[in-house]
Amino acid sequence: MRGQFTAGGVNCLDPGQPMQRKLPAMPQTADSLQAHRRAALIGTLRRSRMFADLSSENLEAVAAVCSLKSLQKGEMLFREGDKAEGFYVLQSGAISVFKLTLDGREQIICVFRPPESFAEVTLATVEAYPANAVALENSQVIVVQRAGFRDLICRQPELSLYMLASMSLHLKHLVQTLQDYKGRQIEGRLADWLLRNAPGGAAWFDLPVTKKNLAGQLGVTSETLSRTFARFRDEGLIRVEGPRVHFLDTTGLRTYIDAEV
């Protein structure tokens, strides 16, 4: 067998092989990192319902009035009454928007996931945030600056139609939530939530939020939610293993929903 060795990355004993020299990897420059972040930002905007139909030119204009903000799990994005700096498009993580009840409990309005947008109401006449927002996990949001976007709407009025469409969807969600929960017992609420949030036909799924957050979404205390999970378990409807919920009897769960419709 003919041996080979290399010097400086060059094949020295096999003249039939082309010379190969290993070059050190070029470090990313500040400009390339900035370009990468901007491309990721524009990609998130493109995936959001609010901006999905914008032309590339208009999308670039929106990106020009945006900035990025990182949040640690449990960190507040804004509090009710804070001066509104803009609205948000979620790039990664999860954000819970909630109000505090008179007894100090969190009443969760909605949990947002990428690439959803929220707090668009601040673009209208609202000068302060009407609710609170907290990161449920390490998250990154795109901040669409209020003043810059309003100036952009003045120059390109068609953008206001996309903003109104997004706000209308949020309003529809809130109205539907109120209708679903009005007069419905916690058993019906939880059964409905489980079946709506599980992938179609799935035998099990992992809760996308903690049980404390779920209790806030359903408008009950953590203790009440735990008792309801226990009831479903004792009736043989579900099996719970940590955050994982196994469906044992979906027909039985639907019975709780249909009984209150």
Is there a contact between 195 and 205 (Cβ–Cβ < 8 Å)?
Answer: no
Supply the pLDDT for residue 124. Answer: 75
pLDDT value of residue 260 = 59
What single letter denotes the amino acid at residue 167? M
- At residue 77, the pLDDT reads 97
Say if CB 135 and CB 146 are below 8 A apart.
no
Tokens found for residue 241: 């293993």
Contact 197, 241 (CB under 8 A): no
* Phi, psi (degrees; rounded to nearest 5) at 57: -65, -45
Residue-level pLDDT at 128 = 92
Residue 30 corresponds to which tokens in the numbers above? 């500040």
Query: CATH for 186-258, among 2.60.120.200, 1.10.10.10, 1.10.274.50, 3.40.50.300?
Result: 1.10.10.10
37: nearest Cα among 177, 108, 142 = 142
State which amino acid sits at residue 78. Answer: F
Evaluate whether 31-181 and 186-258 have a shared fold.
no
Q: DSSP state, 137?
A: S
Question: What CATH number does the domain located at 31-181 have?
Answer: 2.60.120.10
Mean pLDDT by 10 residues, the chain (261 residues): 42 46 56 81 90 87 94 96 94 93 82 91 83 95 93 85 72 64 78 87 88 85 92 95 93 85 52
pLDDT at 176: 65
The CA dihedral of 150, 110, 96, 226, to the nearest 10 degrees, is: 170
Residue 12 pLDDT: 39
Give the residue extent of every domain in the chain. 31-181, 186-258
